[in-house]
A = this chain, B = another copy of it.
Amino acid sequence: MLKNMSSFFVRTLREDPADAEVTSHKLLVRAGYIRRTAPGIYTWLPLGLQVLKRIEKVVREEMDAVGAQEVHFPALLPAEPYQKTNRWEEYGPTLFKLRDRKAADYLLAPTHEEMFTLLVKDMYSSYKDLPVTLYQIQTKYRDEARPRAGLIRGREFVMKDAYSFDIDQEGLNTSYDLQRQAYQRIFERLGLEYVICSAMSGAMGGSRSEEFLHPCEIGEDTFVRSPGGYAANAEAVTTPVPAPVDATNVPAFSVHETPGAKTMEALVEYSNEHYPRAEGDWTAANMLKSVVVALTHPDGEREVMVIAIPGDREVDMKRVEAAVSPAEVEMASAADFENHPELVAGYLGPQACGPNSPLRTVDEDGKISGSVRLLVDPRVVEGTSWIAGGNEVDKHVYNLVMGRDFTADGTIEAAEIREGDPAPDGSGPLELARGIEIGHIFQLGKKYAEALDLKVLDQNGKTQVVTMGSYGVGVSRVLAALAESCNDENGLAWPMILAPFHLQVLATGKGEELFETAGSIAKAVSDAGFDVLYDDRPKVSAGVKFADAELLGMPYVLVVGRGLKDGVVELRDRRNGTAVELPVAEASAEILRVLEENRESNR
């Protein structure tokens, strides 16, 4: 493919777009790869579309290599299957819903578990038909509350989603591993660094789940890793539970005045001053911090709940969100506090909520009411002693012992993970990092097959519910993640495997001969099967051509300019900044040698 810059549909911008915060977004817009159409919705210009196709090709090849078969579902889907699995409700406002002219409910699919399940149910009926893994590369829709970072969190985006169908768990393990290996090969071929993290499966249901994260400062996901090789999404990290503590010698709890000690810092200071203890200074770790949140359950019910964690940690709302999914969570509102006068803001302690509250009643069916639920951090084990709110303004309780003076309705992974926390598998202290989620693989198990009645006959002629896996790559997000790592201060810098053009030829100078030479080299390289962009613009300065080439980021740039009178042209390597002079007569051959050598390169 050979394109002339003079007629190629691209315009570069010298300024960053006003709405762009991250490098990939800025550069992809400035270099004319994409344009914003609406919040979180982008148009692919010729350059961007070409990179997207290159990524799709790699994804497709690796899917085909593990025997996954490609199909293509509609994006516009009837509501019914999603109602059966309850996701019509669970997705909440993230689901784009609409009605057709007959007032039938439809949605724009955020993911396709239901449809693949129904398709296999339609086509297959026996264990002999299994295993099968199907995939598509398709446009997905999610009405994100906060679309951001260009292609990284969009509302319309391209995704590869695959689904495996097996007769049993052993089969699912094999299918899952095949996809996992395919993902490793995809990201390796693309040159995209990744970490495989244990993950929570959230609204997807199911058991085993791992995320492929691209480590990157601007990533939305926090993950952890240990020297021993443990890696997990922050949401999925479980806190090692300490052994119970012997509280025999802890004095009975007592309520004390703590005037004005509304903050953790003030309470620690006040306690050390007025109620010092022999074992050493009180610290925030001795305080029990009670946080009031409000859940919105899929059925719309709002539930106020108290979370109690050690006072030296903050509540991580993303971890809470994952823990309570599919319910949504936010901090309790003023109205919530008005509805619950027993929850005294700033002085709340565990005795005013949970099982210990005098308001608590449990009916015959085990349904609790009267007092809100209290969930505690796993570190709040039997026998631990705390300073907690006294449930009255300016009062706190000292020596309040878990299991003796209060109990909880359960535990919750709500506290932030800290650098240096122990890995749950004992593999050492955790290090925190940020990343972009580029892939996610799930063992769904039987959730969808049960909801939609996907059964086949097994070897004994009995019906068996099929076991499923679900595997996604955010294709357009991968492009953004790659742009995030393939750039320097002058613009994009693509490796060969991704670049929309392998070579950009610049005619920097005047005269028919110069343009003829540049044009004929461009044509020769293109004729040999490489993609070439020839900057043939007649009245554009060398400086502008150089700057545009750096911004556009093709891996090799050939400059046909001043040197031509001495019979040489210059081949530049965009990524390492090196340049070599080539005699004109040998230029095409030498360029072809270099391109051929690096054809699949991802460096």
Contact assessment for A119 and B8 in the assembled complex, using a CB-CB cutoff below 8 Å: no
User: Which residues in B have their C-beta under 8 angstroms from that of A10?
Assistant: 123
Partner of A37, one of B69, B70, B115: B115
Partner of A41, one of B42, B76, B123: B76
Q: Kindly report which residue of chain B lies nearest to residue A112, judged by CB atoms.
A: B43
Q: Kindly report which residue of chain B lies nearest to residue A94, judged by CB atoms.
A: B101
| A120-150 contacts to B (CB < 8 Å) | 122-124, 132, 134, 139, 141, 143, 145
Nearest chain B CB to A134's CB is how many angstroms away? Answer: 6
Contact assessment for B134 and A9 in the assembled complex, using a CB-CB cutoff below 8 Å: yes
Q: Kindly report which residue of chain B lies nearest to residue A128, judged by CB atoms.
A: B6
Q: A43-B73, A69-B9, A74-B42 are in contact. Are A101 and B108 (CB under 8 A)?
A: no
Most-contacted residue by chain B among A41, A49, A74 (CB, 10 A): A74
Most-contacted residue by chain B among A11, A37, A93 (CB, 10 A): A37
Contact assessment for B108 and A67 in the assembled complex, using a CB-CB cutoff below 8 Å: no
Contact assessment for B101 and A71 in the assembled complex, using a CB-CB cutoff below 8 Å: no
User: Which residues in B have their C-beta under 8 angstroms from that of A141?
Assistant: 76
Identical subunits present: 2
Tell yes or no: A230 within 8 A of B by CB: no
User: Which residues in B have their C-beta under 8 angstroms from that of A96?
Assistant: 76, 98, 100, 106
User: Which residues in B have their C-beta under 8 angstroms from that of A35?
Assistant: 119, 122
Q: A96-B100, A98-B98, A100-B143 are in contact. Are A74 and B41 (CB under 8 A)?
A: yes
Contact assessment for A38 and B77 in the assembled complex, using a CB-CB cutoff below 8 Å: yes
Tell yes or no: A97 within 8 A of B by CB: yes
Contact assessment for A145 and B101 in the assembled complex, using a CB-CB cutoff below 8 Å: yes
User: Which residues in B have their C-beta under 8 angstroms from that of A100?
Assistant: 96, 143, 155
Q: What separation, in Å, do the CA atoms of A119 and B52 have in the docked complex?
A: 19
Chain A 22-45 interface mask (CB, 8 Å, partner B; 1/0)? 000000000010010110011111
Chain A 65-96 interface mask (CB, 8 Å, partner B; 1/0)? 00101111111111000000000000001101
Tell yes or no: A46 within 8 A of B by CB: yes
Contact assessment for B67 and A45 in the assembled complex, using a CB-CB cutoff below 8 Å: no
Contact assessment for A123 and B9 in the assembled complex, using a CB-CB cutoff below 8 Å: yes
Tell yes or no: A460 within 8 A of B by CB: no
User: Which residues in B have their C-beta under 8 angstroms from that of A155?
Assistant: 76, 100
Q: Kindly report which residue of chain B lies nearest to residue A78, judged by CB atoms.
A: B38
Partner of A67, one of B7, B93, B98: B7
User: Which residues in B have their C-beta under 8 angstroms from that of A69?
Assistant: 8-9, 46
Contact assessment for B97 and A71 in the assembled complex, using a CB-CB cutoff below 8 Å: no
Contact assessment for B46 and A70 in the assembled complex, using a CB-CB cutoff below 8 Å: yes
Nearest chain B CB to A480's CB is how many angstroms away? Answer: 16
Chain A 233-276 interface mask (CB, 8 Å, partner B; 1/0)? 00000000000000000000000000000000000000000000
Q: What separation, in Å, do the CA atoms of A358 and B98 have in the docked complex?
A: 49
User: Which residues in B have their C-beta under 8 angstroms from that of A548?
Assistant: none
User: Which residues in B have their C-beta under 8 angstroms from that of A413?
Assistant: none
Q: A98-B96, A101-B145, A123-B11 are in contact. Are A75 and B75 (CB under 8 A)?
A: yes
User: Which residues in B have their C-beta under 8 angstroms from that of A124?
Assistant: 11
Contact assessment for B46 and A156 in the assembled complex, using a CB-CB cutoff below 8 Å: no
Q: What separation, in Å, do the CA atoms of A383 and B558 have in the docked complex?
A: 78
Most-contacted residue by chain B among A42, A76, A134, A141 (CB, 10 A): A76
Contact assessment for B101 and A132 in the assembled complex, using a CB-CB cutoff below 8 Å: no
Q: Kindly report which residue of chain B lies nearest to residue A158, judged by CB atoms.
A: B72
Q: What separation, in Å, do the CA atoms of A155 and B78 have in the docked complex?
A: 12
Name A residues whose Cβ lies closer than 8 Å to a Cβ of B: 7-11, 32, 35, 37-38, 41-46, 49, 52, 67, 69-78, 93-94, 96-98, 100-101, 106, 108, 115, 119, 122-124, 132, 134, 139, 141, 143, 145, 155-156
Q: A9-B71, A52-B72 given; name 10 further pairs at CB < 8 Å.
A: A11-B123, A35-B122, A37-B77, A41-B76, A49-B70, A49-B72, A76-B155, A98-B108, A100-B143, A108-B108
Task: Provide 11 A-B residue pairs closer than 8 Å at the C-beta atoms, listed in order of the A residue.
Answer: A37-B74, A37-B77, A37-B78, A41-B74, A49-B70, A74-B156, A76-B96, A76-B108, A76-B156, A93-B101, A96-B106
